[in-house]
Homo-oligomer: A and B are copies of this chain.
Amino acid sequence: MKIIHEIGALKSVLKHHKMNGKTVGFVPTMGFFHEGHLSLMKYARKKSDVVVVSLFVNPTQFGPSEDFDAYPRNLDRDMDLCNSVGVDYMFVPEVLEMYPEGYATYVTVESDMTNQLCGASRPGHFKGVATVVTKLFNIVEPDFAFFGQKDAQQVSVLKRMCKDLNSSVEIIACPIVRESDGLAMSSRNVYLSQSERQDALVLYKALSEAERLIRKGQREAISVKNTMVEIIESVSTSKIDYVEIVSATTLKPVETITEDTLIALAVKIGKTRLIDNLNVDFL
């Protein structure tokens, strides 16, 4: 595995592979890998000739009061993990390499998609995501890009963006990876104290109960939502940011649950904001 820090160097090494007809799979990340990231890399490894992972904690997708500085980092461990799953190139640019002086260009998805759910409490977040992903796609020019379904809104927004901008990159959403007790893997889970770690299970509990109700035949969104809210509020350290039942394509709220429905929630456990979701594609 090669570590590359400069955009030009990565472009030129990948150009060589493409001229030889190789397909490129790309996994954009902010590092501090867990099994969720590794599963994306394994999907990429299976589907592509050359696998590129970027590790860049992107400042433009963090709000001024968010955890950019505190975001967990561990490059040495991340390199070993990438190596262990057969990644070919790890792209690790400095902030100034990505946003040099005079930088001025941004990509926005001007839709309700970006100002609800996580967008409501994180204004500008999806502008930062859309911009950095556009840049990374132009640098790597991958055939496939792999994203975790855990960030369901991000997947929907990026699919919209790629469709709108006529990108040739195929976005592949990969299933949520969970701890054995059901907690969705997240780099932010390290923020949780031991007791908060237990309380954090409430997100999965609420989604599991929603799934059980739907499998039993419940199709009324409001009823499922009320049950979920009740479950979450029974945990005293929890504070609901949102519990929403929406279309997975448009992210607009729905009244009736169908196979296009996404149930998404964000809950603060103590000071740590966690997200999770359920795609009702099993219907």
Binds B, one of A160-168, A212-220, A224-232, A234-242: A160-168
Contact, CB under 8 Å: B105 / A107: yes
Closest chain B residue, CB of each to CB of A7: B166
Chain B residues, Cβ within 8 Å of A135? 164-166
Binds B, one of A43-51, A109-117, A198-206: A109-117
A64 within 8 A of B: no
Report the minimum CB–CB distance from A167 to chain B (whole Å): 5
Contact of A160 among B11, B104, B130, B138 (CB under 8 A): B104
A 77-99 binary contact with B (CB < 8 Å = 1; else 0)? 00000000000000000000000
Contact, CB under 8 Å: B109 / A130: no
Please report the C-alpha to C-alpha distance between residue A200 and residue B168 in the assembled complex, in whole angstroms: 44
Contact of A161 among B21, B105, B113, B250 (CB under 8 A): B105
A282 within 8 A of B: no
Report the minimum CB–CB distance from A15 to chain B (whole Å): 9
Contact, CB under 8 Å: B105 / A165: yes
A13 within 8 A of B: no
Contact, CB under 8 Å: A160 / B105: yes
Report the minimum CB–CB distance from A218 to chain B (whole Å): 29
A108 within 8 A of B: yes
A-B residue pairs, 6 tightest by C-beta: A105-B164, A104-B111, A138-B166, A139-B166, A105-B161, A135-B166
15 contacts across the A-B interface (CB closer than 8 A):
A11-B168, A102-B250, A104-B109, A104-B111, A104-B113, A104-B160, A105-B109, A105-B130, A105-B165, A107-B107, A107-B165, A108-B108, A134-B165, A135-B164, A135-B165
